[in-house]
Structures are given as C-alpha cells and as structure tokens.
C-alpha cells in the first residue's frame, strides 16, 4: 500500500516503502496550504523546476529534516549551494533510491528562479516517474501537452498520474484530458488549479471528459488517497 496526500497546488506528500517523499512543496504563500513547512518531515523532496510555486519551501524543509532534494542538475546545484543535501539527475536518467527508482521526464515549461530583479537559470523543467513498492507514479510537473506522453504511457504502466489542469501556465482541462488518453493511467489526480484566479478550473469538468476505464480522484488540499 502507498498513500499520497495533496498539499495544494502541485504539492504532494507520498508515503511509500516507509519513506516520505515530498513533491514540489510550495507551502509558504500557497493560499491552499493546509499545513506549515515545520509540520512536514520528509526523507526526500523532489523538485520539478525552479519556479517559486514548486521550489517553494524545499530548501528550508530539506535542511531542517536532513532530507535529500532530488532535482534536475542545475536546480540541484542551486539548492546545494544554499546548504541542502541534494541528488542531481537529468531527463531520461533513472536512479535506484532506497524507496524506489526515480526517472525524470521531459516537461514543456521554464525553470528560471526569479528573486526580485535576479533571474537565475535553473536548467530544464522536468516531470517525474517514481517506481516503488510495485507502483508507478507520474507527476507531470508544469507542462503543456506533448506527444511523448504517449511514449511514457507505452513504456510504463502508470498506476497514478498527477496532471496540471489549470491552463495559462500549463495544460488546461481539454489538454489534460487528452494527456490522460495518451498516458493511460489507472488513476488520475488533477493539480495546479484554483490556487490563483488565473488558473481557475473545475476538476469535475475534467473528470467528465475522462473515459470510464480511468478513475479520476479529486482531492481537496489536505486529503489523502491510498493506492
Ligand atoms: Ni512553473
Ligand atoms: Mn507552477
């Protein structure tokens, strides 16, 4: 058994193989946040790209818990320079951690870290595949729809896909439902919507577009799903 808790926006806490893996822990400044960064005690933190709504509190939480940040190379270097323990990877490479295997995928997006007037390049944005405890989880990060989602769906039997549906910065409902068709997951959970007015979307409208062979699970921030 594994469980995943939605922390709002694109942030999730995955509990698998007795390890806690945070993904894109945007807590401070997240209007949907249901906890404080100090409430989280992960073993690993996966960060898909450098935007503040994904990098979020990753560095502080990592330092406090001696957790390892798993991120694309340039972003991992940035986090390492800030004092976090890191494991750098890149698109297409996989690595067997003590809880399971992680592989980064393509994502159509940006990754620059923006701090007031400073723009710090953080390499490519990624999606992440996690294979652990007999389950395969795909967190798409921020991305537009792309054809290689079909390749990912053919290459992996995805148990759980976490897909952005909010539009403007990422796929909208229509594109995310098309992505679901390409990825063929058993379960899909929508994310990256309703955090801000510009990404308002109705997850029930997304669910209505998904074929009945795929289960749509809509989580409110703080809710958890076992699989
Ligand atoms: Ni982004
Ligand atoms: Mn985002």
User: 197 CA distance to ligand 2 centroid (A)?
Assistant: 13
Ion ligand 1 residues within 5 Å by Cβ: 51, 142
3-state secondary structure of 154: helix
> What are the angstrom distances between the C-alpha of 2 and each of 26, 133, 152?
22, 8, 22
H or E element in which residue 206 lies: helix 203-208
Ion ligand 2 residues within 5 Å by Cβ: 53, 142
The CATH number assigned to the domain holding 105 equals 3.60.15.10
- The burial class, CB within 10 Å (0-12 / 13-18 / 19+), for 217 is middle
User: 15 CA distance to ligand 1 centroid (A)?
Assistant: 24
Q: What is the pLDDT of residues 142-168, one digit of tens each?
A: 999 999 999 999 999 999 999 999 999
Model pTM score? 0.98
Q: 1 pLDDT exceeds 90?
A: no
Q: Note the ligand closest to the C-alpha atom of 108.
A: 1
Handedness of CA 100, 106, 109, 112 (dihedral sign): positive
For 164, the token pair is 């952005």
Q: What is the pLDDT of residues 6-34, one digit of tens each?
A: 999 999 999 999 999 999 999 999 999 99
Q: Note the ligand closest to the C-alpha atom of 164.
A: 2
User: 25 CA distance to ligand 2 centroid (A)?
Assistant: 11
| Tokens 């990753």 belong to residue | 58
Q: What is the pLDDT of residues 51-89, one digit of tens each?
A: 999 999 999 999 999 999 999 999 999 999 999 999 999
User: 212 CA distance to ligand 1 centroid (A)?
Assistant: 30
- The burial class, CB within 10 Å (0-12 / 13-18 / 19+), for 40 is buried
Q: What is the pLDDT of residue 108?
A: 98
H or E element in which residue 82 lies: none
Domains contained in the chain, number: 1
How big is the CA angle at 194 (ends 72 and 150), to the nearest 5 degrees? 50
**Is the distance from CB of 163 to CB of 142 less than 8 angstroms?**
no
Q: Which residues pair with 162 in a beta bridge?
A: 139, 189
CA gap 14, 11 in Å, rounded:
10
Phi, psi angle pair for 4, to nearest 5°: -135, 130
SS3 content of the chain, % helix, strand, coil (to 5): 20, 30, 50
Count other Cβ atoms within 10 Å, centred on residue 211: 10
- The burial class, CB within 10 Å (0-12 / 13-18 / 19+), for 36 is exposed
For 9, the domain range is 3-226
Nearest to 128 by CA among 23, 41, 3: 23
Q: What is the pLDDT of residues 89-127, one digit of tens each?
A: 999 999 999 999 999 999 999 999 999 999 999 999 999
**Is the distance from CB of 227 to CB of 160 less than 8 angstroms?**
yes
């Amino acid at each position: 058994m594994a469980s995943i808790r939605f922390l709002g926006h694109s942030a999730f806490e995955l509990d698998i193989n007795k390890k806690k893996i945070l993904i894109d822990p945007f807590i401070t400044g997240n209007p949907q946040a249901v906890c404080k960064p100090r409430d989280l005690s992960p073993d690993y933190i996966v960060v898909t790209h450098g935007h503040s709504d994904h990098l979020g509190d990753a560095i502080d939480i990592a330092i406090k818990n001696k957790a390892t940040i798993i991120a694309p190379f340039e972003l991992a270097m940035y986090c390492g320079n800030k004092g976090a323990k890191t494991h750098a990877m890149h698109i297409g490479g996989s690595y067997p951690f003590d809880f399971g295997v992680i592989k980064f995928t393509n994502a159509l997006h940006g990754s620059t870290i923006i701090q007031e007037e400073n723009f710090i390049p953080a390499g490519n944005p990624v999606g992440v595949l996690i294979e652990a405890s007999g389950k395969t989880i795909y967190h798409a990060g921020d991305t537009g729809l792309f054809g290689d989602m079909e390749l990912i769906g053919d290459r992996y039997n995805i148990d759980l896909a976490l897909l952005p549906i909010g539009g403007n910065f990422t796929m909208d409902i229509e594109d995310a439902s098309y992505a679901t068709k390409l990825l063929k997951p058993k379960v899909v959970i929508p994310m990256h919507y309703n955090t801000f007015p510009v990404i308002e979307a109705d997850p029930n409208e997304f669910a209505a577009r998904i074929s009945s062979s795929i289960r749509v699970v809509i989580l409110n921030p703080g809710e958890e799903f076992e699989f």
